Structure 1
Amino acid sequence: MSSIARRAAAAAATGLTGAVALAVTLTGVPSALGATTGTASLGALRASTEVAVAAHGVNKEGYEGDEAPAGVDVHQEVSTAQLVEAADSVQDPAATGTSGTRTGIGCSGDGTSGNRVQAVYVGVAGQNDRYDAVVGALRAYTAGVDGVYLASAMEHGGRRQIRWVHDSSCQVVVDHVVLNPSDVASFGAERSALVAKGYDRGDRKYLLYTDAAVLCGVANVFTDTSPLQSNANNGGYAQYARVDAPCWAPQDHSVEAHELTHTLGAVLSFAPHATANGHCTDESDVMCYVDGSGVVMTQSCPTTHEKLLDCGGDDYFNTNPAPGSALATNWNAANSSFLFDPPAPTATLSYDGSAAVLAPSVPSGQGWRVDWTAPGCTPATATTTSPGGARLAVSCPSGGTVTATLTQQDGRTAQASTAASASGTPAPASSAAPTPTPGATANPGPSVAPTAPATTPVATLALGLTTVTPKTVAGTRVVLTGTATTGTAPAAGTRVALQRKQGTGWTTLGWARTSAQGTVSLTVAPVATTAYRLAAGTTTSAALTVTVTPKVQVSASGLTVKGAVRPAAKGTRVALVQHGRAVATTRTDAAGRFVLTAPRSGSGYAVTVAAQPIAQLALSAR
C-alpha cells in the first residue's frame, strides 16, 4: 500500500485484546481442525500450538490498529448520504474499456453450504441504526471486493471470486446485529460479543461492517504455512474482518479486501517480501505498507496496482505460481476454499419482429459485452454492454441471421443465433445455452429504428409503481408496489429492477420477480427525497418520487434549544424562527447536532431545518 493510502489494517487476535495478535504456528493438522464450531476448535488448537506475539497495538493517533488512509478521520461520523453515494462509485478493478458494469457478486451453489464469507452489519445500541438505509450500499461494496479477487486472479491467467452467503437471487445476505457500545470498543470485545450471539461457525469468515467510528480495519490470521487444504486459515475456525464506517468503500483501494485477505491467510512469514506484522513491502499492493519501524518499501508495480492483490504474485496470492517457488510450496490464499472459479456465461437469442433480444445469463455477476453480427441487416454489426445491452433493434428487409456473442470480464463467451423475419413475424429462437439462471440481466441497449413496422400486433409490457406513503421521515421504511402487465393480463414471473434516480441517470438497487398476479412489493428506507422506477428490458415505469423530511430531535432548556438532524450531515442550516423572522441561525456539525439560543422568553418559536418547519416551542429564561 502506498504511503498516501495507509490504512488501519492490523492482524489482530481472536479472543484477545487489540494490543495482542494471535499467531498459530502449524506444520501439521491438529485433530480438531475439522470441527464446525470455531470456538471449540480454537480452544483445542491453543492448548498445543498457540503463541502470542506483539502486534500493532495502539498507534500514535491513539486507536487500535494503524493510521487510517490520508484524509480519513476514524472518529468522524460519516453521513448516511455519503455512504449511499459511495456505492455508486465503487470501483470494479476487473472492468475493461470494452466490458460493461458489474451486475453483482457471483452465484456460488445454493448460497449457504460449505465455506463462505458472511457479511454482517453491526449496529450500536442507543445510536441511529442505519441497516435499512445502507444495506443496498453494503451489497455494492461487496461486489467491489469480488472484483478485486477476480482482477487479481486474471493477472495470472486464473479466475477467483468470493463464496459469499447469498440468497436464491444471488444477492449478498447481510445479517443485522446490534451490540452494546462497550462491545465495539475493541476488536476482541466485538468478536466475543458476536460469539455469544452464535457467530462462531468454523465454515464462515465474517466481514463485519461495523457502524462505529473507533478504528479503520482489523482482522485475524493464523500463521499456518502448510500448502494443504487443511491449513488453519481454510476453515474449521471462525475468523473475523472488521471495518468501521469511515473506512467503508474508499476509492483508491478496498479496506474490506485487505482485511478479508488477512483471514484467507496473508501475508505469512515465508513470503519473500513479508513484514513481521503480516503485510508486505513491494508496492503497489492492497496488502503492502510500512507497518512498523525499520520497514523499507520498494516500488515493484505501478501505482495503478494499488487496488489489486500481490504485486509480482510471489507473496500470498497467485492462481499459477511458479513451480518450486515459495508460494507453490507454502500456503497460497488463491487456493482458499472460501473462493471459487466463477461460471461461464450462457445466452439465448430471439427475434420479435423488429429487434434481436438476448437473454444473457451471467451468474458470475461480472460485467459483459455483446458483439452483434447481422449480415444484410441494419446495423450489420454493433457492440453493446451491460447492464443495458441485451437488445438491438435491427432491420432485415430480406431476412437474415443475427448472431450475438456474449463475453464476460474474464474472457469466457457464449454465442447464440436466430433467424430474422422480414414480415415481422417472430422467428424461432436458436440457442447455444440453457435457460438463464438467477442473477442475469436483460436490459436494453442502443437501438436503430426498423424500416418497416411489424404486421402482427404484439402485446407490450407495461410497468407501474405506486406507494401509499409518498411522504415520509428519513430512514422510515416505505413499501413500493409494482405492477407488470402484458396487454390486460398480469405479467407473472417478470424480472424487474428497482432503480433510483442518480444525477441524470438511474442506478439499479436490486431485482425481483412479479407474483402470479403480476405484482411485486419492494421496501426502501430513503434518507433524502428520491425518485424510483421499475425497469424491465426497454420498458420502464413512470418515476415515483418519495418526499423525505429529515428526522429531527429537539429539546429546550431555558432559552437554549438543542437537537440533532438525522441523517447526519455537516452544514445543514438550522434556524430559530419567531413570528416568521429568524432570530438565531446555525449549521449542524458533522454529527448532525446543533445548538440555538433564543434572545428572549416568549411563545411562537419554531425550529426550521433546511427551511422546513420542524417543531413549535415556547421558551422561558426562568
Structure 2
Amino acid sequence: MSLGALVLVAAGLIAGTASAGEQAAQAEQAEQAALPASDPAKGLVYTGLQRRKAGPCGPDLLEVKGTNPVMCTHGPDAVPAGLSVKSSVPALAAAAAPAAAAQALAVCEGDGTSGRRVEVLYVHGSTSRYQQYLETFRSLAEGVDTIFNESAKETGGERHVRYVTETVNGACRPVVRDVQIPDSALNANDWAPLLNAVKAAGYTRTDRKYLQFVDANVYCGIGGFAGDTRKSDSNRSNSGPEYARADNGCWVAGVAAHELGHTLGAVNNNAPNASGHAHCTDEWDVMCYKDGDEVVVRTVCTNRSHDDRLDCNHDDYYHTNPPAGSYLANNFNVADNLFLIKGTGGGGNPQPDTNLARSATASASYTSPWESVAAINDGIDPPSSNDTVNPRWGTWPNSGQQWAELTWSSNQTLKRAQVYLFDDNQGIDVPSSWKLQYWTGSAYADVPGASGYPVTANAYITVTFTQVSTARLRVVLQSTGTSSVGLLEVKAYAS
C-alpha cells in the first residue's frame, strides 16, 4: 500500500472516531432542537430545560437541568389573557383587608402541620413585599381551595387542599412562609437556580407540595409534573418535594390552581382529551388551553365560568366517584391525591382522610426506658428508619414477638393503616415479619383481607384491609434472631 493510501486510511479512522462523538452531540442537539422557542413576553422560557428520551423524565416531559434529584416538568405555561408577565398583580386593596381577614378555609385538618400538605411560600430577593402581599397570598391559596372543592361538588363530592395552616384572628388560614433567596437566583431565566436556593433554605420535605408565589417577572407559571398514570397510593404525584411556581404577573387563583394541579397529577398524556403536553383540549377548564401548534381545542363546556373549574365533563383527571370502567376508574385520578382532604359526598366517597391514630392512646408489650411508646402516634413523619432526632419506640434488649397498639375511647371505622419501621443498626432491626390485629370485643384477630406486609425501611408501609369497627389496633412484630424491634409512626384511616 502506498504512503498516500495509508494516510487516507488513517484519516478515515480518525474521522470515524470523531464522527461517533459528533453523532452523539448531534443527537443531543436534535433533542434540544425539539424544544419550542422561548417567548419571554408570554412567560415561555425554556432556558435550563432539556428533553432526553432516555432520561428519567422520558420522551414526553422535560428535565430541569442542574437539580438533584432530577425534576420533571411539562414546561412553562403561557400567560392567560388579561395578564402580563412583566406587570405585577396589585396587592389586595387596604379597604378590602378587614373583610379578607374574616375569611377562612372551609375545612382544616389536624394540627395544621403533620402529614402530606401543601405549603405556601413567598419567594423574593433583597426586596421583600411580604407584609404588603400577605393577605393576598392567603386569599389566593383559599381561592385555589375553592376551585378544587367547587369542582368536586360537580361530581357530588367534596375535596379540599390540605394546607399547612395556622389560626389568624380565630380563623384557620394557610401559612405563608417568607423565603429570601439571592437576587441572581430569583431573576434567572432558568428555574434551577431558584429551586436550588429554595431547597437550600430547607424546603425539601417529602410530604410537601410547595406552592411558590415568586416575586419575579420570568414565568407566568411552571410546575413539576410526574406523568405517572398508575392508580396507586405509590403514584409519584402522591409524594414530594414538588414545586409549583407563579410569578408576580400571574398572582391569581386560576394560575396557582393550574400549577398546583400539575404537581398533583394533571393532566396525564393518556387521558381521553389530553393535549400531549400535560393539558387538556376540551374547554372551558383550568388545565386546558392550546399548548402546541398541532393541538386543536374544542369548546365542550360552554359556560366560560368553568375556566375556574377542574376537568370539563370530569373524564380526564378529576372525578370524586368515577363510573366503573371509565378512564378515571382505571388510571390516576387527582381527586384521589393524598394531598387533598376527602369529604363525605359523592355516592360512596370515603370519609375525611384523617389520621385517626392521633386521637388514640399508645401502649406496648415493652418499651426501652429511654424510648417512648407515645412516639408511634405523635404525628411526626420520620426522615428515615434510623431517626436520631425525633422520639421513637423500641424494645431493646427484648426480642421475639413484640407489639404496640392504639386504643380509642370508642369504636373507630378502619380500612387502612401506615407503619414506619425503626432500624438503628445498633440492636434494633426491621422485623422478620409483622402484621396488624384488631380487637373484636373479646379477642384479637388479624385484620381481614390485608393487602400484604412488606418489610421495608425508610418509608411508610401502607396496608389496606376489609373495613373493621374496633377500639384497638395492634401492630405485632416478630424480631430477627436476638435483635429487637421498634416503630417510629403508625397511622390509621377510615378509607
Q: Which residue of 2 aligns with 1:473?
A: none
2:48 matches 1:17: yes
Q: CA 1:8 to 1:332, structure 2 compared with 1: closer, same or farther past 3 Å?
A: farther
Instruction: Give 1:109 shift.
Output: 0.9
Residue pairs, 1:299-378, within 5 angstroms: 299-302=299-302, 303-342=304-343
2:286 matches 1:283: no
Q: Which residue of 1 aligns with 2:181?
A: 179
Q: Which residue of 1 aligns with 2:209?
A: 205
SS at match of 1:170: strand
SS at match of 2:237: coil
Does structure 2 retain, via aligned residues, the 8 Å contact 1:267–1:278? yes
Instruction: Give 1:324 shift.
Output: 1.3
Q: Which residue of 2 aligns with 1:112?
A: 113
SS at match of 2:174: coil
Output the CA distance in 1 between the equivalents of 2:259 and 2:95: 23
SS at match of 1:259: helix
Structure 2: give runs of 5+ residues left out of the alignment.
1-40, 60-66, 346-351, 353-495
Instruction: Give 1:153 shift.
Output: 0.5
Q: CA 1:290 to 1:341, structure 2 compared with 1: closer, same or farther past 3 Å?
A: same
Tell me the amino acid that sits aligned with residue 48 of structure 2: T
Instruction: Give 1:176 shift.
Output: 0.4
Tell me the amino acid that sits aligned with residue 298 of structure 1: R
Q: Which residue of 2 aligns with 1:220?
A: 224
Instruction: Give 1:8 shift.
Output: 6.5
Q: Which residue of 1 aligns with 2:243?
A: 240
Q: Which residue of 2 aligns with 1:230?
A: 234
Percent of paired sites with the same residue: 39
Q: Which residue of 2 aligns with 1:191?
A: 195
* Structure with greater proportional helix content: 2
SS at match of 2:227: coil
Instruction: Give 1:191 shift.
Output: 0.9
Does structure 2 retain, via aligned residues, the 8 Å contact 1:105–1:171? no
Residue pairs, 1:453-464, within 5 angstroms: none
Query: Residues 256-305 of structure 1: CA distance to partner in whole angstroms, max 9, x if unpaired?
Result: 00000000011012201111210000010000000011100111102221
Q: Which residue of 2 aligns with 1:73?
A: 84
Does structure 2 retain, via aligned residues, the 8 Å contact 1:149–1:309? yes
Tell me the amino acid that sits aligned with residue 233 of structure 2: Q
* Structure with greater proportional strand content: 1
SS at match of 1:272: coil
Output the CA distance in 1 between the equivalents of 2:315 and 2:280: 11
Does structure 2 retain, via aligned residues, the 8 Å contact 1:318–1:334? yes
Query: Residues 172-209 of structure 1: CA distance to partner in whole angstroms, max 9, x if unpaired?
Result: 11110011122122322211111111111110000001
Tell me the amino acid that sits aligned with residue 328 of structure 1: A
SS at match of 1:233: helix
Query: Residues 280-334 of structure 1: CA distance to partner in whole angstroms, max 9, x if unpaired?
Result: 0001000000001110011110222111000011111111111111111111110
SS at match of 2:166: coil
Does structure 1 retain, via aligned residues, the 8 Å contact 2:112–2:163? yes
Output the CA distance in 1 between the equivalents of 2:260 and 2:115: 17
Structure 1: give runs of 5+ residues left out of the alignment.
1-6, 27-40, 57-64, 91-100, 345-362, 364-622
Does structure 2 retain, via aligned residues, the 8 Å contact 1:11–1:219? no
Output the CA distance in 2 between the equivalents of 1:79 and 1:103: 21
Output the CA distance in 2 between the equivalents of 1:105 and 1:335: 19
Q: CA 1:280 to 1:11, structure 2 compared with 1: closer, same or farther past 3 Å?
A: farther
Tell me the amino acid that sits aligned with residue 288 of structure 1: C
Cα RMSD (Å): 3.4
Q: Which residue of 2 aligns with 1:142?
A: 141
Output the CA distance in 1 between the equivalents of 2:342 and 2:336: 10
Does structure 2 retain, via aligned residues, the 8 Å contact 1:290–1:297? yes
Query: Residues 81-133 of structure 1: CA distance to partner in whole angstroms, max 9, x if unpaired?
Result: 66x6788999xxxxxxxxxx9643521111111100000111111x3x11012
Tell me the amino acid that sits aligned with residue 192 of structure 1: N
Query: Residues 476-515 of structure 1: CA distance to partner in whole angstroms, max 9, x if unpaired?
Result: xxxxxxxxxxxxxxxxxxxxxxxxxxxxxxxxxxxxxxxx
Residue pairs, 1:1-80, within 5 angstroms: 17-18=48-49, 24=57, 43=69, 56=75, 65-80=76-91
Tell me the amino acid that sits aligned with residue 332 of structure 1: N
Does structure 2 retain, via aligned residues, the 8 Å contact 1:241–1:263? yes
Does structure 2 retain, via aligned residues, the 8 Å contact 1:317–1:333? yes
Residue pairs, 1:529-608, within 5 angstroms: none
Structure 1 residues 334-343 or 206-215, which shifts more? Answer: 334-343
Q: CA 1:286 to 1:78, structure 2 compared with 1: closer, same or farther past 3 Å?
A: closer
Tell me the amino acid that sits aligned with residue 173 of structure 1: V
Q: Which residue of 1 aligns with 2:130?
A: 131
SS at match of 2:121: strand
Output the CA distance in 2 between the equivalents of 1:151 and 1:160: 8
Does structure 2 retain, via aligned residues, the 8 Å contact 1:75–1:215? no
